[in-house]
Chains A and B, each alone.
Chain A
Amino acid sequence: MALVGCGSGASAIGSTLLYAATAPFSTPLPALDPSFQYIRVRHEGRDAFLARGYAEATQHGFREVYYSAERETLTLLDGRLVGFSSNGMSTRVDSSGAPPIWPTLVEEMPLAPVRYARQSSRLPNGPLAVREEVEILRLTPSSVRAKVEAEDALVWAREVFHPVGGAAGQTMDSYASDYAYLANLLSQATKTNRGEVGPLPVYSRQCIGPTFCIEIEPWPAR
C-alpha cells in the first residue's frame, strides 16, 4: 500500500484498495464436497482443507494421500505424516519400520517407551537422510494442554524425536509430535490382507524438524 500513492496509473490506487478491501482476512470455510473425506491442516494459524485421494493398506501400514487445491500432496502412514510435496519442494519421512502408535496406548503403562528409528529427507538441496531416534510415550492427562484436558474421551500419545544427524552444521534439538485417539476405538483393529489397520488419530500436531509443525484433524471433526 505504501507505494500505491506513487503508482504509475490513476486507477492503480483504486485497484489496490479494491484488492485490499476484498482480500479475505482469514480463510473462509470452503464448501466441501461430501463425496470426499477431508482433513484440516493448520500451519501458523492458517487453515487448509485437503481432500483424500488414496487410502490403501500397504506392507508399511495404512497409507492415505491428501490433495490441496494448489496440487500439493500430503501423505500419512498410520496417521503419521510421511510426505509433503509441493511445486519444487518435497519432504519425505521414512517411517516404514515404525510400529503403529495405537497398540502402545492399549497397554496403558508399557514397561518402557517404545523406540524406533526414522529418517527424513528434504528435496531438492535440503538435508538428506537426517536420522532420528524416536520414542513413543503415552501422555498423562496432566501433561496434555489444559484446553483438551476436559476431553477425557481422548487418549494422547507423544513421539519424541532425537536427531542424530543434522544439516548445515546445526545440532538439531529434539522435538515432539502429539496424537489424540478416541479412547473407545483404541482396541479396535481391522484385519486386512496386508496386516492390521487400527484406529487413526482424531487430532495430531506433527513436526518434521524442530521448526516445522502442522496440526492435522479429520474434517468435519469426529
Chain B
Amino acid sequence: MRTLLFFMAWLLLSLASATVQAKSAQVVMVGPQAEGQRLSKWLRSTPEMTGLSSVESAHLAYLSRREEALSKSDRDLVEGILMERSLAAALDPAGALRLLQLVRGLPHAGRVVLESSEPEWLEVNPVFDPVLREGDRIVRFSQPRDLVVVLSNGRFCRLAHQPGQLVYGYINACRGDSGWWARLGGGSSHAPVWMTQPNGDVQRIGDRGQRRFQDQGLKPLNVPEAGTWIWAPDAGSGFGDSFSWAFAELLAAQGPAGDYLRPVQAEEIRIDAPALASPVRPTASAWGAVGLIQTPTARMSPDSELTVSVSRTQPYRRTNVFVQALPWMEFGFRYTDIEDQLYSNIPAFSGDQSYKDKSIDAKFRLLQESDTGWWPDLSVGFIDVGGTGLFSSEFLAATKQFGNVDATIGMAWGYLGQTGGMTNPIGSVVDKYKTRQATSNSGRGGQFSQDTWFSGPVGLFGGLQWQTPWQRWTAKLEYESNDYSREPLGRPLRSDSPVNFGLTYAATRWVDLSVSYERGNEVSFVISLHAPLNRKPPAKLLDPKPLALEPSAMTNMVLQHSLEQVDWQTVRTEAEALTQWRIGTLRIVGDTLEVVVTQTSGLYTSDRVDLMSRLLHTKAPSHIRLFVVQLQTRGVEMNRVVVDRAQFAKERSQLVSVREQRLQPAMVSVDPMGSPEINIIQAPETLPGSSWWGDLTGGLGMSYAHHLGGPDGFWLYQIGVSASAEWRPRPDTWVSALGNHRLIDNYERFKITTESALPQVRTLMRRYYTDTRTTIPNLQATHIGQLSIGGGQHFYSVYAGYLEWMFGGAGAEYLWRPWRSPVSVGVDINRVRQREFNQRLDFRDYETTTGHITGYWETGWNDIMVQLKVGQYLAQDKGATLDVSRIWSNGVSFGMYATKTNVSAEQFGEGSFDKGVYLSIPFDALLPKRSTFRGSFVWQPITRDGGAILGRRYPLYGLSGQRAPRAMNFGY
C-alpha cells in the first residue's frame, strides 16, 4: 500500500513539476576561456555586462556549479521530508505534495551570495571576488516588484510589494485572514516565519510580529523587500526548524522571488492592509526607563541597549543606568539625590551631603504589539523594588502606535498612582490589596517589598509621544496620577497641573536631550546617553592590516620555502606580536606544523588564530598541509585548532560560499584529548622553545578605585600607580605580585567605619583603603593542572599567598569541565586569614575556612549564563549565590547576583542581603586596536559582611574558557 502511494505521489509530482517555470532572465554561461578568472575581471570584459547601469548591475546573481553540488544535501533533506509527509495521512499529504512540486520545479540552485556585484569594488576586495569555473552562470534578473508567500499547505501567492508592509500583512493576505481574530493579531500568524531576502539573507522572524530594529536604524527587520521569499508554516503544521532553515536556504539558492521566478499558478493578490508607519523611537523618561516624561510606557528599548541618563526635576536629581537585558525585560538602577534633604537625621553625620536614595527597577513585556492587528504592547513594571521603597510603585501600561503617534494608557499603584483615581480591582477580590502599607523595609532597605505590590488605590496615567516631521524631534504629552502633596520624607511639592509636556531632541545617534514643563510650574531636563551593548567590535584600523593572501599561492602551493630557509625565531616573534599570545615551540611533523601557544589571552580566539595562520601560510615550507595550533592556558592545553592550509588560503583570498565554509571548514576546533590522530607524541624537528629558567614579566600602570554612595561622600576615589610582576618557572606554575601606591584621593572624607553583627570581613574596608598609601594587594603562588583520568575533563589548582587585598592563606580548586559542555561544576576550599590593614605581610587574628561548590550553566538561550554557588562565606555564614548574566558575542557581559545566607536581615544590616549588578567589557569590543584587557564595573548597593566571597585571582572556570561552547564564536 505504501509503495503504491509512493508511486502515485511520484507520478503526480512528475506531472506537476512542469507547471512551475522561471521567467526569462538573462543568463550568461561562463565559458572555458574564463576558467580561473575573477568575477570582477569577467564583468568588465563581457559585453552583456559592460553596458549595465548602476542599478542594473546590482541585480546579478552568481550560480556556481560547485555550490549546486554542495546544496544537493539541502535539497535532498527537503525533498525527503516532503516525500515522507506526502505519504503520511495525518499531515496534509496533498499540501506536502504541492510543496514538493514547488521544490522540484525550482530551476536554479547553486547561488553564491555576493557582497557586491560591482566589479570595481570586487577588484579591490578579492576576498569577496569569486574565481569562476567553466559552467558557472551569471544571471541578471529584472528589478523585483513582487514577493512570494509559501504556506505549509502547499499554497503560494505572488503579491505586489508594498513599501513598508510588514511580513504578516502579506501572510494574512495570502491566507485570506481578514477577520476580527486576524486583526487582533491572532490566528496562525504567531508561528515563526522565514524570510529569504532577495540578496540571499535568511531571517527567522520569531513567534510574534516582532517590532525589532536594526542595530543602527529604525527599519524593522520584518519588513520584506520586493523579491523576498516568505516561508510561513502554520503553527500546527509540524514542520520543524531544521526543515524550515533548509527550505529557506534552498530558496536563497535560487534568486529573488516574484519577477525572476514566477510560479505560474501562484495567486496574484492585492493587499488592503495599510503599511505600518515607522515605529516611534523609544526614549527615556526622567526615571531613566523608556517612557514619557514622568510616566512609563509599555515600550522597550532595542535589545541590549544600555542607557545612562541624568534628570533634574526639582528637588530630585536622578542618575539612572538601564539595560535592555532581554528583548522583553528592562532592568535598571538609580541614585536619587534629594537636594533639599540631608543625608541622615543627624546633621553632624550628614555634613553637607544631601539625601541619596538607591533603587532598582524592572519592566517586563507581557504582550507584544501586533503588527497587523489591534493588540498593544502590554508591560508590567516595578519602580524602586529593592531600595528603601521611598518611590516604590507598580504599573501596568499599554502602548499602541497610531500613525506617528504612540499612545499609552496605564494603571499605577504606589508613588505614581497616589491620586487614586480608581478602585484597586485586585482589592475588590482580596481585601488586603485595598490599602497600601508603608514599605516594610524602609530604613534597612534592600528587600523586595512584595507584600505591598499592587496594593492600595490605583491612579490612571497616559499620554502621547509624537514623532514630529523633523526626525530628531519627538514631542510628548502626559497625564500623571502622582499626588505631589504626599512626597516621601514629608516634603510636599506644589503641583498646578497633572498634565506635563515636553520635547526630546536626538542630538546625535547616542545622545538625547529632553526638556519638559511639569506640574504646571517646573521646567525639567534629561540628558540620556545610549549605546548597544551587542555592538559589533570596530575594525582594528590601528593594528597592522592582516596579511593578504593570493589564491595562486596556496591553491597551487607555489611557495617554495624549504625548512632551512625559514627563520623560525622571527616567525615566533611576529606571531607573538600579532596575537598578543606567548608562543612556546613550533614543531614540524610530516606535513603538519604545530604551534604551541603557552599562554592565550583575549577573548577573540578565532581572530587571533586567523592572524597567526596568515603569517604561517606565508612563511611555512610548501609541503606543510596543516597548521595545528595548541592553545594552552597556563601550560595546560585547553583547545586545539586545526587549520587546513589550502582551504584557509582559499577562504581568505576569494569568495567561498557560506555553505562551503560550513561543509569544508578551514579551521576546526577540537578537544585536545579527543583527537589522537593529530596528537603528536614525538617531534623530530624541534624549533626554538622557551628558556630553561622560565619567564619573568612585569609592568607599570595606573590604578583607580572608588567607593560610591557611602555616608562620607557620594564618590570617594583614589588614583595611583600599580606594578605587576609574574615569574613562571614552568608554564603551569607561577608567582604573581601586584603592588599599588595611592597618589591622589579624597579619603580625608572617608571617616566612618561601619559596625557589624557579623565578623567584620568587608565592613573594615575603610581601614584597608586609607591605612597606608603603598600596598601589596596580591602576592601568591599558583599551580594548575589537568588530571590524566577522565578524558581531560578534570582540572585542579592549588595556590597560597596573599590571595586578595583583605585575606591571605592557601586553597585548592577542582573543576569538571567537559569539552564544549554547557554545564560545568567546580569546588574550591580555602583556609584564609585576615590581612593587616596596611596590606603588607602581616595578618590579623581572624581566620576561617571558606569554599563553595559552583555549578555553571551556559543555557544557550539568549546568551544567558547562570552560576549557582553553595557553601561557606568569609564571615562563616552558609548559603548560596545566584548569578545570572548575559554574554553577547562581542564578549560584553551584564549580570546580576544575589546571595542569601543563614544570616537574618537584621544581622546583615542595611541592604538585608548581598546583591549587585555588573557590566564587563573587553577592550577589544571598544577599541580599534586589539587588546587583551577587560574593564569591569560592579555596582553593589552596600558592602556588608554577610555573603562575602573570597576574591580568588585565578578561578579555573576563567582559565579554561577555551573549552566553552562559544569559545571560537566571540569576535567580529
Contacts and interface: CB of A to CB of B under 8 A. Distances in A.
Nearest to A75: B54
Which of B700, B702, B738: most chain A Cβ within 10 A?
B702
Interface in A137-192: 165-170, 173
A124 B197 contact: yes
Given A3-B937, A13-B702, A71-B124, A168 B923 contact: no
A168 B201 contact: no
A121 B923 contact: no
B860 interface: no
A36 interface: no
Given A7-B934, A10-B724, A95-B54, A16 B163 contact: no
Contacts of B471: 211
A10 B116 contact: no
Contact of A59 (B51, B145, B702): B51
Give the size range of A's interface with the partner. 35 or more
Interface string A125-137: 1111100000000
A169 B701 contact: no
Contacts of B198: 128
Interface stretch (B220-228, B457-465, B478-486, B666-674): B220-228
B699 A11 contact: yes
Interface stretch (A26-34, A81-89, A104-112): A81-89
A18 B109 CA distance: 52
A60 interface: yes
A59 B165 CA distance: 37
Give the size range of B's interface with the partner. 35 or more
A73 B700 contact: no
B722 A7 contact: no
A41 interface: no
A19 B199 contact: no
Given A16-B923, A211-B471, A10 B121 contact: no
A62 to B, nearest CB: 14
A125 B199 contact: yes
Contacts of A75: 54, 118, 120
Contacts of B58: 90, 92, 121, 123
A3 B120 contact: no
A9 interface: yes
A93 interface: yes
Contact of B699 (A10, A17, A65, A211): A10
B164 A166 contact: yes
Interface stretch (B273-281, B681-689, B836-844): B273-281
Interface in A92-122: 92-96, 119-121
Contacts of B237: none
B923 A167 contact: no
Contacts of B120: 53-54, 65, 67, 73, 75
A94 B55 contact: yes
Contacts of B164: 166-170
Interface stretch (B92-100, B185-193, B634-642, B925-933): B925-933
A5 interface: yes
Nearest to A9: B933
B229 to A, nearest CB: 14
Nearest to B277: A169
A94 B56 contact: yes
A60 B53 contact: yes
B703 interface: yes
A7 B706 contact: no
B219 interface: yes
B890 to A, nearest CB: 14
Contacts of B722: 10
A121 B58 CA distance: 9
B936 interface: yes
A71 to B, nearest CB: 5
Which of B226, B227, B701, B722: most chain A Cβ within 10 A?
B701
B6 interface: no
Interface in B901-927: 921, 923, 927
Nearest to B144: A128
A133 B63 CA distance: 35
A12 B935 contact: yes
Given A3-B921, A83-B118, A13 B701 contact: yes
A128 B227 contact: yes
Contact of B702 (A17, A92, A126): A17
Interface in B98-129: 115-116, 118, 120-121, 124-125, 128
Contacts of B723: 10
Contacts of A94: 53-56
B589 to A, nearest CB: 36
A13 B276 CA distance: 48
Q: Is the interface of B mostly helix, strand, loop or mixed?
A: loop
Contacts of B145: 129
Given A3-B936, A10-B722, A19-B929, A127 B163 contact: yes
Contacts of A5: 703-706, 935
A77 B57 CA distance: 15
A88 B220 CA distance: 18
Given A90-B116, A121-B55, A168-B164, A8 B275 contact: no
B542 interface: yes
B225 A128 contact: yes
Contact of B701 (A12, A59, A87, A173): A12
A115 to B, nearest CB: 19
B880 to A, nearest CB: 26
Contacts of B341: none
Given A13-B702, A17-B702, A73-B124, A7 B933 contact: yes
B55 A15 contact: no
A6 B198 CA distance: 46
B534 interface: no
A213 interface: no
A211 B723 CA distance: 50
Given A7-B934, A12-B923, A73-B124, A169 B276 contact: yes
A167 B163 contact: yes
A19 B51 contact: no
A54 B43 CA distance: 15
Contacts of B225: 125-128
Interface string B40-70: 0000000000010111111000000000000
Nearest to A44: B508
A208 to B, nearest CB: 12
B703 A85 contact: no
A167 B225 CA distance: 9
B867 interface: no
A3 B891 CA distance: 15
Which of A53, A120, A124, A126: most chain B Cβ within 10 A?
A124
Contacts of A129: 55, 143, 145, 226
B935 to A, nearest CB: 3
A193 B415 CA distance: 79
A77 B921 CA distance: 45
B703 to A, nearest CB: 7
Nearest to A172: B163
A202 interface: no
A168 B935 contact: no
Nearest to A86: B121
Closest 6 CB pairs of A and B: A169-B164, A3-B935, A5-B704, A10-B701, A94-B55, A12-B933
Given A16-B923, A88-B115, A169-B278, 14 more contacts: A6-B938, A10-B700, A16-B927, A17-B702, A73-B121, A82-B54, A92-B54, A125-B225, A127-B163, A167-B163, A167-B219, A169-B164, A169-B275, A173-B469
22 contacts: A3-B921, A5-B704, A5-B935, A9-B933, A10-B722, A11-B701, A12-B923, A12-B931, A12-B934, A13-B701, A19-B927, A19-B929, A53-B124, A72-B121, A85-B116, A90-B58, A94-B56, A119-B55, A123-B116, A124-B201, A125-B197, A167-B163
Interface of B: 51, 53-58, 115-116, 118, 120-121, 124-125, 128, 143-145, 163-165, 197-199, 201, 218-220, 223, 225-227, 275-278, 469, 471, 542, 699-706, 722-724, 738, 921, 923, 927, 929, 931-938
